[in-house]
């Protein structure tokens, strides 16, 4: 097999003007390109999965110890891990747990998709059109530092205590992040790519689609990730403030209900569920997306 290949290539090489060139080239290619393997499951488990699990276990152990050794002796201030787990279990057995989570997550994701549909073209226009950038660029980056919770009161006044108000708050939180992420992604596109694209005829919309957008993808993804974090936070604030029975009980409303019922276990349940969803969305959607983009470009640093 190998020998037929060699004779084949040498035949080709003599057809060219420098005998043996292709063999030389193949040797160079083999010497200089490095093969990168992927980590085994065991490596991933020991390096990536085990440490955070251990950390969580340590936190629970300390928590339990605080109660067992009566450091904190007031269940209305600090419920035991068992009590909180009991709340979660009850909600599960009553068939309400997934309902709480889904009410919030579906709102969050739908709002986020809307923010994506608005923030992406907005970011593109701001990045590519000088006048627009001069006009609204500063406002857009200013808005990013405004805590989106600040939008809850005006949104309630404008839209009332309903779902549209929640979506409005999500949009106001996430759109600036997504747009800004795209803008900074586009700003960081190496000029060389744009020049190369132009010599190939990728100008205007073609250039945007084939060169600018894919080149800006890492920055855009970072913006999406931040946009999601902002959506999720502002949604929780909106749910706490706008809890009414016809809106369904999401995680924010659950937290508020816990407070009203003076049930610290329920409050902890809600807080842990909110945290859990935030981590889960990141682990299930954004981290894999980010890793895939970086790995395919050879930018992924094993850490």
- By CB under 8 A, name the one of 101, 169, 215, 267 that touches other proteins: 215
Q: Which is nearer to other proteins, 204 or 245 (CB)?
A: 204
Using CB under 8 A, pick the residue from 56, 196, 279, 284 that binds other proteins.
Answer: 196
| Binder of other proteins out of 199, 205, 246, 262 (CB under 8 A) | 199
Task: Name which of 32 and 246 has its Cβ closer to other proteins.
Answer: 32
Of all helices (H) and strands (E), which one includes residue 101?
helix 97-128
The whole-angstrom separation of Cα 65 and Cα 68 is: 5
| Helix, strand, coil percent content, the chain, rounded in steps of 5 | 80, 0, 20
Q: What's the CA gap between 251 and 239, in Å, rounded? A: 8
Report long-range pairs for 280-285 (Cβ below 8 Å, ≥24 apart).
281/105, 281/228, 281/232, 282/225, 282/228, 285/228
Of 96 and 198, CB closest to other proteins: 198
Pick one of 195, 283, 284, 288: the residue that binds other proteins (CB under 8 A).
195
* Pick from 128, 235, 262, 233: nearest CA to 185: 128
Cα distance between residue 81 and residue 65, in whole Å: 10
Size of site (CB under 8 A) for other proteins: 36
Determine, following the binding rule CB under 8 A, whether residue 187 of this chain makes contact with other proteins. no
CA 77 to the chain's CA centroid: 33
Q: Which of 206, 279, 284, 287 binds other proteins (CB under 8 A)?
A: 206
Q: In this complex, which beta carbon is closest to other proteins, that of residue 210 or of residue 259?
A: 210
Compare residues 141 and 208 and give the one whose CB is closer to other proteins. 208
For residue 298, state whether it binds other proteins (rule: CB under 8 A). yes
Region 217-236 residues binding other proteins, contact defined as CB under 8 A: 217
Distance CA 114, CA 108 (A): 10
Whose Cβ is closer to other proteins: residue 130's or residue 297's? 297
Q: Which region among 111-119, 161-169, 199-207, 236-244 touches other proteins (by CB under 8 A)?
A: 199-207
- Per CB under 8 A, contacts with other proteins among 11-50 are 16-18, 21-22, 24-26, 28-29, 31-36
CA dihedral over 143, 149, 152, 154, signed as positive or negative: negative
Q: How many Å apart are CA 148 and CA 252, to the nearest integer? A: 15
Is residue 198 a contact point for other proteins (CB under 8 A)? yes
Q: How far apart are CA 47 and CA 202, in angstroms?
A: 43
Where on the chain is the footprint of other proteins (CB under 8 A)?
Answer: 16-18, 21-22, 24-26, 28-29, 31-36, 192-193, 195-196, 198-202, 206, 210-211, 214-215, 217, 293, 296-299
């Amino acid at each position: 097999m190998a020998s037929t290949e060699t004779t084949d290539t040498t035949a080709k090489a003599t057809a060219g003007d420098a005998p043996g060139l292709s063999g030389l080239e193949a040797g160079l290619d083999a010497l200089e390109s490095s093969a990168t393997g992927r980590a085994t499951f065991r490596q991933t488990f020991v390096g990536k999965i085990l440490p955070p699990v251990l950390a969580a276990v340590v936190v629970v152990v300390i928590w339990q110890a605080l109660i067992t050794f009566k450091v904190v002796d007031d269940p209305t201030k600090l419920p035991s891990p068992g009590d909180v787990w009991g709340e979660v279990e009850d909600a599960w057995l009553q068939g309400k747990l997934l309902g709480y989570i889904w009410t919030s997550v579906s709102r969050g994701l739908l709002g986020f998709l809307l923010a994506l549909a608005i923030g992406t073209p907005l970011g593109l226009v701001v990045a590519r059109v000088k006048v627009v950038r001069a006009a609204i660029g500063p406002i857009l980056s200013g808005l990013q530092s405004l805590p989106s919770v600040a939008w809850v009161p005006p949104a309630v006044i404008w839209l009332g205590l309903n779902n549209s108000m929640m979506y409005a708050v999500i949009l106001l939180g996430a759109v600036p992040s997504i747009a800004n992420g795209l803008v900074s992604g586009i700003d960081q596109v190496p000029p060389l790519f744009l020049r190369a694209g132009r010599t190939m005829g990728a100008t205007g919309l073609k250039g945007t689609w084939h060169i600018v957008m894919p080149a800006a993808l890492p920055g855009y993804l970072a913006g999406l990730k931040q946009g999601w974090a902002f959506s999720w936070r502002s949604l929780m604030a909106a749910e706490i403030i706008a809890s009414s029975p016809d809106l369904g009980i999401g995680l924010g409303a659950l937290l508020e209900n816990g407070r009203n019922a003076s049930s610290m276990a329920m409050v902890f349940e809600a807080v842990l569920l909110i945290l859990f969803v935030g981590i889960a969305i990141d682990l299930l959607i954004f981290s894999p997306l980010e890793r895939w983009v970086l790995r395919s470009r050879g930018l992924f640093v094993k850490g």
